[in-house]
């Protein structure tokens, strides 16, 4: 698909989507301090700096989960598990270029530098979703815009969850050990796994956050999935409007919804904020030509 010269994201730069809250720790901080910081600030990664405040590396929830799986002591330095060096973009970079960089590197975030080469914020997929959602919410073609809804809906332009979701879901039995849960999440690069009861009925969800909290509380890897899973399962219908699902995630401060058919226990996929960001739209296809043609 060729990219149109007229694009919704044209003219936008990183500063319009980035978060200026920079969560950082000294590189010599311990793993348990990293977990506390990740949970306190509700972030997926923390920047590690030296004694002079210069960036050294990044530790994400995935890295902490890896430390749990490797049975590292909680008082081990975060430097043992950090990824270095951090990946950056400039505050004046186009948003399109930053998104291409994230896709090319297969990463979830970029740290943002200003003209003085100082780190001033971070850009992640949820930030992109929030920006796109605001554009869609204010657009004259929005489903909230009154009479235009009939015309657009008739043309099939509004996106539904099924158009964007990941059409697969990994499951573990509620009796599975936490070590097995971590193996599933690592193998498939998912942020959460569905926990099922007897007969395949959805019973709960285990996210990386649940796992690093289990690590922090000293739970052994032989503990059962049912002990730490969150319940009930937050889900949406496959044919629900994408705009509504995104709004639900933003207002509830969650990163994913499991997707079901008509019956709530018939889970067929997952919708994450990353999926929504890659779709480059929060509502409809009125600006489909504006989307960046990014490979899956």
Please state whether 11 falls in left (phi above 0), alpha (psi between -120 and 50) or beta. Answer: left
Fold equal for 14-124 and 160-279:
yes
What is the residue extent of each domain of the chain?
Answer: 14-124, 160-279
Per residue in 180-200, pLDDT (tens digit) is 999 999 998 888 999 999 888
The CATH class of 160-279 is alpha beta
Calculate helix-pair angle for 208-216, 178-188, nearest 10 degrees: 140
Predicted pLDDT of residue 52:
94
Q: What is the mean pLDDT of the chain?
A: 86
Per residue in 141-173, pLDDT (tens digit) is 666 555 455 455 545 567 889 988 999 889 999
Which are the contacts of 156, defined by CB distance < 8 A and separation ≥ 6? none
Predicted pLDDT of residue 141:
66
Per residue in 124-135, pLDDT (tens digit) is 988 888 887 777
User: Can you give the pTM of this predicted structure?
Assistant: 0.84
The domain 14-124 is classified under which CATH number: 3.10.580.10, 3.30.9.10, 3.40.1010.20, 3.30.300.130? Answer: 3.10.580.10
Predicted pLDDT of residue 274:
80
- How far is it, in rounded angstroms, from Cα 256 to Cα 190? 10
- How far is it, in rounded angstroms, from Cα 79 to Cα 29? 8
pLDDT-derived band of residue 116, with 50, 70 and 90 as boundaries? very high
């Amino acid at each position: 698909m060729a990219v149109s010269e007229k694009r919704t994201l044209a003219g936008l730069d990183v500063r319009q989507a980035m978060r200026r809250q920079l969560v950082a720790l000294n590189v010599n901080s311990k793993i348990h301090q990293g977990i506390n910081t990740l949970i306190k600030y509700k972030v997926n990664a923390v920047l590690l700096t030296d004694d002079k405040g210069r960036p050294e590396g990044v530790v994400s929830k995935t890295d902490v989960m890896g430390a749990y799986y490797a049975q590292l002591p909680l008082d081990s330095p975060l430097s043992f598990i950090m990824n270095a060096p951090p990946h950056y973009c400039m505050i004046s970079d186009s948003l399109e270029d930053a998104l291409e960089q994230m896709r090319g590197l297969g990463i979830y975030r970029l740290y943002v530098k200003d003209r003085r080469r100082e780190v001033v914020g971070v850009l992640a997929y949820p930030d992109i979703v929030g920006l796109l959602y605001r554009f869609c919410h204010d657009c004259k073609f929005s489903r909230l815009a009154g009479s235009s809804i009939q015309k657009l809906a008739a043309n099939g332009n509004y996106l539904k969850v099924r158009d964007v979701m990941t059409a697969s879901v990994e499951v573990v039995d509620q009796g599975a050990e936490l070590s097995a849960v971590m193996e599933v999440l690592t193998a498939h690069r998912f942020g959460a796994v569905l926990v099922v009861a007897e007969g395949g009925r959805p019973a709960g969800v285990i996210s990386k956050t649940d796992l690093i909290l289990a690590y922090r509380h000293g739970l052994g890897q032989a503990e059962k999935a049912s002990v730490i899973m969150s319940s009930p399962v937050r889900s949406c219908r496959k044919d629900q409007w994408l705009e509504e699902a995104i709004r639900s995630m933003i207002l509830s401060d969650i990163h994913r919804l499991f997707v079901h058919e008509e019956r709530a226990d018939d889970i067929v996929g997952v919708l994450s904020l990353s999926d929504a960001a890659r779709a480059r739209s929060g509502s409809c296809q009125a600006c489909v030509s504006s989307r960046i043609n990014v490979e899956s």
